[in-house]
Amino acid sequence: MTHAPVLKVENLQTRFKSVQRGKYVHAVDDVSIELYPGEIVGLVGESGCGKSTLGRTIVGLEKASSGRVLLDGVDLSALSGAALRDSRRALQYVFQDPYSCLNDRQTVGEAIDEALIIDGTKSPDERNRRTRELLDQVGLAYAVKDRHTRELSGGQRQRVAIARSLAVNPRVLICDEPVSALDLSIRAQVMNLFLRLQKDLSVACLFIAHDLALVRQAASRVYVMYLGRIVEQGPSQELYDHPSHPYSQMLLASVPEVDPRVEKLRSGPLLMGEVPSPTNPPSGCRFRTRCPLAVDDCARRTPPSHGLAPDHNAACVFAPDLHGGKRSALVHQPA
């Protein structure tokens, strides 16, 4: 990666006021990520680990309590009002639920038109031309523009939502599980659409998902998130082949196998129990309460990030051993 990142997130922290007085839910804690132009990056983790909150904070739907979001080197936290809205427009978000992210009262044409107006396209002819182009890009016929969004199927709605995001010429697309609400046959189509658009328009894409197979297929790099922190990151091939954080290992091992004979052979402790409360996160390493390898030291300090291979880091004291295969979270060994 020689060129500059298009999106740089530095030590981002998002806290919500807890129902318990004076306490906070640490949804995103000290997260730094980078996106380079035109790449697809996966963000995986269990439900409730803060991956959606991270995405929402980046686009400004949640307020960051500290940290910076830099888009093309411009610090968005330093901007406000119309200047912020104009700059942040290059950062778009694709929602998980294609049913509620469009206004039922609008037709497809109106929804896309509105995005174009917001983006400052004044001439109606130009907007019509762009609408036609965008619908074509997402594989919908131009005639759809006169239909109300409520008349469309989930897959069609998601295409419209994608077309609307693309209307403002984004540099970065944050996709929050964009296909998990769609059924399997449509999922593949929309996924292919994503890959094609990303290639054609070279938009950088942060792909938030819990479907590990999907991320492996689509993403060039992967971040693994646990309880508000990034625990491991790396190129997807490398990370899927040599997961070096106990959590990543267990997460990957918990993917069911299609073949029942292979499934039977799957061994080792799979992820048990639930993610601890982000209101009172465990001290030191946050995964230690569920980690089969945890030692006393894990509770005392946050494990440093170990560089294992080019661009591959894991935040675990045993990361080098895990990476080299000398140790595994899947076969329980008393430390």
Q: Which residue ranges make up the site for other proteins (CB under 8 A)?
A: 59-61, 82, 85-86, 88-89, 91-93, 95, 97, 100-103, 105, 114-115, 118-119, 139-141, 143-144, 147, 151-153, 155-156, 159, 161, 164-165, 168, 189, 192-193, 196
What sign results for the dihedral spanned by CA atoms 290, 294, 297, 303?
A: negative
Nearer to other proteins, 82 or 258 (CB): 82
Please say whether the beta carbons of 6 and 174 come within 8 A: no
Count Cα neighbours of 45 within 13 Å in the Cβ-side half-sphere.
Answer: 29
Nearer to other proteins, 101 or 316 (CB): 101
Nearer to other proteins, 186 or 250 (CB): 186
Residue 304 tokens read as 């440093």
CB of 101 to other proteins, least distance (A): 4
Nearer to other proteins, 159 or 323 (CB): 159
What's at 88, amino acid-wise? Answer: R
CB of 82 to other proteins, least distance (A): 7
Identify which of 138, 182, 327, 154 has the alpha carbon closest to the alpha carbon of residue 245.
327
CB of 20 to other proteins, least distance (A): 21
CB of 218 to other proteins, least distance (A): 14
CB of 151 to other proteins, least distance (A): 6
3 state DSSP class of 91: strand
Identify which of 134, 139, 83, 141 has the alpha carbon closest to the alpha carbon of residue 111.
134
CA 237 – CA 39 distance, rounded (Å)? 15
Residue 206 tokens read as 């942060």
Nearer to other proteins, 43 or 111 (CB): 111
Sequence-separated (6 or more) residues with CB below 8 Å from residue 40: 194, 195, 198, 204, 205, 207, 218, 219, 220
Nearer to other proteins, 179 or 227 (CB): 179
CB of 191 to other proteins, least distance (A): 9
Chain position carrying tokens 């998990």: 180
Return the number of other C-beta atoms located less than 10 Å from residue 274's C-beta. Answer: 10
Q: Nearest-5° angle of CA 21, CA 24, CA 26?
A: 165
Residue 262 tokens read as 């292979």
CA 163 – CA 94 distance, rounded (Å)? 10
CB of 100 to other proteins, least distance (A): 5
CA 6 – CA 311 distance, rounded (Å)? 17
CB of 193 to other proteins, least distance (A): 5
Nearer to other proteins, 61 or 255 (CB): 61
Nearer to other proteins, 191 or 251 (CB): 191
